[in-house]
Amino acid sequence: MELQIDRMKSQDEAIKSLKEEINSITNQTSAIKGQIDNTKRDFVAILGIFAVIFMAFDSGLKINLAIFDKKGLDGLIALCLFMFASFFTLILLHSLYRFVKDIANSNQNPNKTDSKEYKVSIVLLIVIFIAVAVVVGVKTYKN
């Protein structure tokens, strides 16, 4: 009888050690899954940043080349349009960068947006557009 009790105690200890080992392996597995998710998110963010940079500069160059290709434009108007296109490209690049950065930091609060930066970008774009419109209007009114 005592032999069976000792055997049951040793089996209970073996079962407890197996449970602890299973819990340890489960914790390690979940930690590795978290690291894999972080690596995927970083990889997507890096690719997104490079794609954003390429798209913004490519579209900016196309717009600027199209502006300077027009032969009938006055130099000041062409310069204002060039500035408008350049700032538009810069704002586009910044907005896309912020979007990719928000995706990369998705483990933080997803509803948190830095609306001040977006408002400044929109106001800057409107001011530039109005300045270009005024310059073009003054030039056309003089002629």
In this predicted structure, what is the pLDDT of residue 108?
A: 58
Q: What is the mean pLDDT of each run of 10 residues along the chain (143 residues)?
A: 78 89 92 84 77 72 68 68 74 74 64 62 74 72 65
Domain regions of the chain by residue span: 2-142
- Report the sign of the C-alpha dihedral through residues 30, 34, 36, 37, in that order: positive
In this predicted structure, what is the pLDDT of residue 26?
A: 92
First to last CA, the chain: 115
In this predicted structure, what is the pLDDT of residue 117?
A: 64
In this predicted structure, what is the pLDDT of residue 47?
A: 79
